[in-house]
Chains A and B, each alone.
Chain A
Amino acid sequence: MLSNLFPNIDVQDFWVATYETFYMTILALIGTVIFGILLGLLLYMTTKGGIWENKYVNWATAAVVNVFRAIPFIILILLLFPFTEFVVGTIRGPNAALPALIIGSAPFYGRLVEIALKEVDKGVVEAAKSMGAKTRTIIFKVLLPESMPALVSGLTVTAIALIGYTAMAGVIGAGGLGNYAYYFGFQRREFDVVFLCTVAIVIIVFIFQFIGDRITNKLDKR
């Protein structure tokens, strides 16, 4: 059926491309969660009045976050070529896209994490302090659980931006649906390929949005 409607599609290639998009998105998301939460926590904890109040660390972290958010993603990939080659050993394929994807979206997610943490009731943090909690306990048992719905909905937004980034990365050789649409659709003027890739990406975005919303609602006991 697929081959009737879309004569130029190679089913095998299409599934590989879809798989690669998922692969890049999920792995980049894992990296983004780790680095984003670290950045967000660092911003929140070192801010004025924070538990680790430190003007310099806060300023430096904010500077890194702002600089990397200011660089357009497509430029960031090019800029990171030497770094990618050093870390991954190649500049082609889904794995080569990961450093750029993570570095591109972690600062964005870091800001969302910071906002989520700021929403946590100060009184609850204070209550934990009054019970004699260690800072580690405050982070893992108060700050993160109490901001979890916002952390997850922020991650949903980030994931969707990431899917867009994977398509851009695809155009310069990272694989995935973006790559497939560009090389096999656009360059060969076979627009049914472009169209099907678009549909596939939209469906993937919807899947992420749906799962994200479900988890957010389930977590929120307020």
Chain B
Amino acid sequence: MITIDGLRKIFTTDQQDIKAVDDLNLSIKEGEIFGVIGYSGAGKSTFVRLLNRLEEPTSGSVVIDKQEITSLNTNELRLARQEIGMIFQHFNLLWSRTVKDNIAFPLEIAGVAKQEREARVQELIDLVGLSGREDAYPAQLSGGQKQRVGIARALANRPKVLLCDEATSALDPETTNSILDLLVDINQRLGLTIILITHEMHVIRKICHQVAVMENGKIVEQGDVLDVFLRPKQKVTRKFVEQVMGTPGEEESITELVEAYQEGKIVKLHFVGETANQALISQLARRFPIDINILQGKITQTQAGAYGTLFVQIVGDPAECSRALAHVADETSVEVEVIRDAE
């Protein structure tokens, strides 16, 4: 769907040349939510702005849906941009226009007739959940509502791709979640490819399928979100994973656990994208005559299922305990590690 090849952007300032994006290669599949994460100054905004040439690349090529964006002339680029939606951290709505007229703006640009425009605007207002607010001005809306207008506006011309630059960074956690849910909903309903820039791992975890980690203009790590969570290779990536999973100081407390709970087995259950057996613990307790005591752990939900670890104590007949664990190992994707066997 999107192929990026040797993309480079060098800013020349009086003092020095800044390599904001440095030889980037990437391929993004249709219908994917692709996250790009990195710290401030990593070059994320520059990267996403290169995709619709709000920033002219120094070299390299961008191909979106078989169209080479980087070789289009001004007029072709204008038409191509009508099929690439973009939403912004600070919403960038026209304060002089109502919600309705803001959403109608890209349709006016595309030369859609008035009647069709009005029908489409109403459709979009319903889609983003702003019914009843169509005649409000942006100044009368909350941040979350403004971003909904931004999203509706970006979707107006039925784009193939949606670019989001820190779309939730100006919002509180609750509102962030509702906007992220809306993006997932749109992705599933319209099959839209979404490229999402953020510095919050929480956002990646919640909605992305693929993630690329950027540092100094380069992509230093890339893969399935779950893989990256499971096996972060780079130091930056590990720091981002810790944002969501907490720091791994927990290992030390395991010895304490082992001492505190003398009875039964102590087992570490590693969830690596389990979707089918979300109710694993209660299933085990029902199927086998054993007691399960959750000691410690952290589970988080990603687009590919649950991810995280749980430490549990299993008490009961040793044979039953072993059968239960064998069941987990064979029937689910949850990895089992016995920390201490029953005496």
Contact = CB atoms under 8 A, between A and B. Distances in A.
Interface of A: 121, 123-124, 126-134, 137, 141-142, 145-146, 148, 219, 221-222
A133 B81 CA distance: 9
Contacts, number: 64
B109 A137 contact: yes
Interface in B131-153: 137, 139, 153
Contacts of B77: 132
Interface of B: 52, 54, 77-82, 84, 86, 88, 90, 92-97, 105-106, 108-110, 137, 139, 153, 157
Contacts of B105: 128, 131, 141
B110 A121 contact: no
B137 A124 contact: no
A124 B81 contact: no
Contacts of B109: 128, 131-134, 137
B129 to A, nearest CB: 21
Nearest to B98: A221
Contacts of B95: 146, 221-222
A132 B80 contact: yes
Contact of A134 (B78, B96, B106, B139): B78
A212 B196 CA distance: 45
Chain A contact surface mostly: helix
A139 B153 CA distance: 19
A124 B92 contact: yes
B325 to A, nearest CB: 54
B137 A131 contact: no
A132 B107 CA distance: 10
A84 B80 CA distance: 51
A132 B94 contact: no
B92 to A, nearest CB: 4
Contact of B92 (A123, A132, A219): A123
B96 A221 contact: yes
19 contacts: A123-B92, A124-B92, A126-B88, A126-B92, A127-B88, A128-B109, A129-B54, A131-B86, A131-B105, A131-B109, A131-B153, A132-B77, A132-B79, A132-B80, A134-B109, A137-B109, A145-B94, A221-B95, A221-B139
Contact of B54 (A130, A219, A222): A130
A129 B81 contact: yes
Contacts of A133: 78, 109
